[in-house]
Amino acid sequence: ITKLLLEHNVRATINQILSEEIVQLLGLEYNVEIEIKKKEASEEYDFVADQVSAREEDKVLRAPIVTFLGHVDHGKTSLLDCIRKTKVAEGEVGGITQHIGAHKVETNGKHVVFLDTPGHEAFTAMRARGANVTDVVVLVVAADDGVMPQTEEAINHAKAANVPIIVAINKIDKPSANTLRVKQQLSNLDLIPEEWSGKTPFVETSAITGAGIDTLFELLWLESEILELKAIPKNPARGVVLEAHLSEGRGVVANVIIQDGTLHQGDIILCGRTYGRARLLIDDKGKEIKETGPASPVSISDFSDIPEAGDKFYVVSDIQKAREIALEKRNKDRETSLAKHQHITLDNLYSMIADGNVKEIKIILKADYKGSVEVLKKALDALSTSEIKVRILHSAVGGITESDVLLADASDALIIGFYVTAEEKARLLAEEKGVEIRLYKIIYDATNEIKAAMEGMLEPEK
Ligand code: GDP
């Protein structure tokens, strides 16, 4: 087996943990069918399982978790600030907002949680780490500027994550605002307003005057009712780290969002490769609290080490066990990083297809001109067969950027460049993440190579 692995450029020792893809590959080589069983989180930590309920009658509706996406300067941060100022001040007299990665807003007894870091890079970086925290995306488009390149990028990042979109046409206070034009532009991108018999909720806002903010809240509640977001408050807490740092006086502080269950002061927490006790809980208004439930942002200290953004955390019953698992995870990470995660590439495509692992080839397409983007999109679409669909996750004019690589990493996609190159940072990130970038100068070469790869007839790269 180790010899075979070497042929696939994986240097492994006998007690090394291999990635799923590599294991599947071995199965193919030895003609053995491999079934990978994934553990549920509660199963994984079986010593907490007896306390975990999955009963329908224990479930309650929870607040939606929302991220603002959109082109730079279209008003994402201003809208967040506007909401914070009006709504938070309303609910919590004298409360001072703390930046703990997210904040929970209450109006009329209903809650919405807003993530503090807007933008699709942060959104997709979290997703690449396996943490899908966002329930609803608010796409911010300035009424005067209209749809811009990063608007399209944001739409495609949200779509690739399967997260529903609500459109906020912002800056309607400006004399140059043209909301009709924005609606037309977005309709061309498949975001059709409900008033035009489409499915996308639209709201017109101004972060300056506060217009439309109440309507935005109503739309968010409506969307969360449709999504039926539920959690079980009596379960032990689990969630995701939004941000973590070392703080003088508080030790390692992690700002997290609780996705399910209730976190109590003193709970033992296992978090990625770290563990600890929730000694001090501080909420988004800067108040010290004793416990907090589902869909709440909270700042926790103290941990054994600094966890990473996107790490999942679980409350467990035994600190000794938490320490052991954290240590085991640390060793495992070290080993698996050697046999690093292999994304889809033209070289492994056929074996993945044959294996039944791949039903869809996801592609991010960047080209020099709008015309070449359109032609290539058509040509690649035409490669879809009844078994394998070619799906263009994102296509745009311009060089390959870090954001493209992040999307490819989170979605397991290939990047194809036509008469463009990859930015240095993008190239390095792709190398690190094992994302394949293929550059072409002839359309026929691109389609031909992908077709050949789909059929398992790709010539080895020279
Ligand atoms: P972001 O890059 O999307 O986070 O955009 P910002 O929130 O930083 O806003 C960019 C600029 O647009 C700032 O100068 C804001 O004051 C301004 N701005 C944001 N929203 C509005 C709005 O509704 N009306 C007007 N007139 N200006 C706005």
303 near 121, Cβ under 8 Å? no
Ligand 1 pocket, mutate which of 67, 68, 71, 73 (most atoms under 8 A from CB): 73
The backbone torsions φ and ψ at residue 410, rounded to the nearest 5 degrees and listed phi first, read -70, -30
pLDDT band at 459 (very low <50, low <70, confident <90, very high): low
pLDDT of residue 92: 55
Across 225-234, average pLDDT: 91
pLDDT of residue 90: 57
pLDDT of residue 372: 93
pLDDT, tens digit (0-9, with 9 covering 90-100), for 269-293: 988 788 889 999 999 888 899 999 9
pLDDT of residue 338: 47
pLDDT of residue 339: 46
Helices within 53-209 (DSSP H only): 76-83, 89-91, 120-128, 149-160, 179-188
CA distance 211 to 171: 9
Measured in angstroms, how far is the CA atom of residue 77 from the centroid of ligand 1? 7
Find out whether 245 is annotated in a ligand binding site: no
CA 288 remoteness from chain centre: 30
Q: What percent of the chain stands above pLDDT 90?
A: 55
Measured CA to CA in angstroms, residue 7 lies from 1, 25, 34, 347 at distances of 10, 12, 20, 13
Tracing tokens 């780290």 back to the chain, one arrives at 241
pLDDT of 352 over the 60 cut: yes
Q: Which two tokens stand for residue 178?
A: 């043209």
pLDDT of residue 171: 98
Find out whether 111 is annotated in a ligand binding site: no
- For helices 346-354 and 443-454, angle between their N-to-C axes, nearest 10 degrees: 30
Report the chain's C-alpha Rg in angstroms.
24
Q: Which of 263, 302, 269, 260 is nearest to 283 (CA)?
A: 263
Q: Which two tokens stand for residue 119?
A: 């933008």
pLDDT of residue 117: 86
Q: Which of 157, 127, 141 is nearest to 395 (CA)?
A: 157
Secondary structure tally for the chain: helices H, strands E: 16, 21
pLDDT, tens digit (0-9, with 9 covering 90-100), for 191-204: 999 999 999 999 99
pLDDT of residue 240: 93
pLDDT of residue 192: 97
322 near 316, Cβ under 8 Å? yes
CA distance 141 to 186: 10
CA distance 35 to 38: 10
Residue, of 51 and 266, whose pLDDT is higher = 266
194 near 200, Cβ under 8 Å? yes
Instruction: Give pTM, 2 decimals.
Output: 0.82
> Which is it for the CA torsion 450, 453, 455, 459, positive or negative?
positive
Residues with CB under 6 A from ligand 1: 70, 72-78, 118, 170-171, 173-174, 206-208
Among 3-12, 21-30, 144-153, 282-291, top mean pLDDT goes to 144-153
Measured in angstroms, how far is the CA atom of residue 174 from the centroid of ligand 1? 11
Measured in angstroms, how far is the CA atom of residue 212 from the centroid of ligand 1? 15
pLDDT, tens digit (0-9, with 9 covering 90-100), for 327-343: 877 776 666 554 455 68
Find out whether 70 is annotated in a ligand binding site: yes
pLDDT band at 304 (very low <50, low <70, confident <90, very high): confident
pLDDT of 215 over the 90 cut: yes
Q: Is the ipTM of this complex over 0.95?
A: yes
SS3 438: strand
pLDDT of residue 41: 47
Q: Which two tokens stand for residue 235?
A: 């379960």
How do strand 389-397 and strand 360-367 relate by DSSP bridges? parallel
Which of 53-57, 81-85, 390-394, 439-443 has the least mean pLDDT?
A: 53-57
pLDDT of 100 over the 70 cut: yes
Which 8-state DSSP code applies to residue 262? B
pLDDT band at 49 (very low <50, low <70, confident <90, very high): very low
| Mean pLDDT of all residues belonging to the chain | 86
Find out whether 118 is annotated in a ligand binding site: yes
CA distance 283 to 98: 8
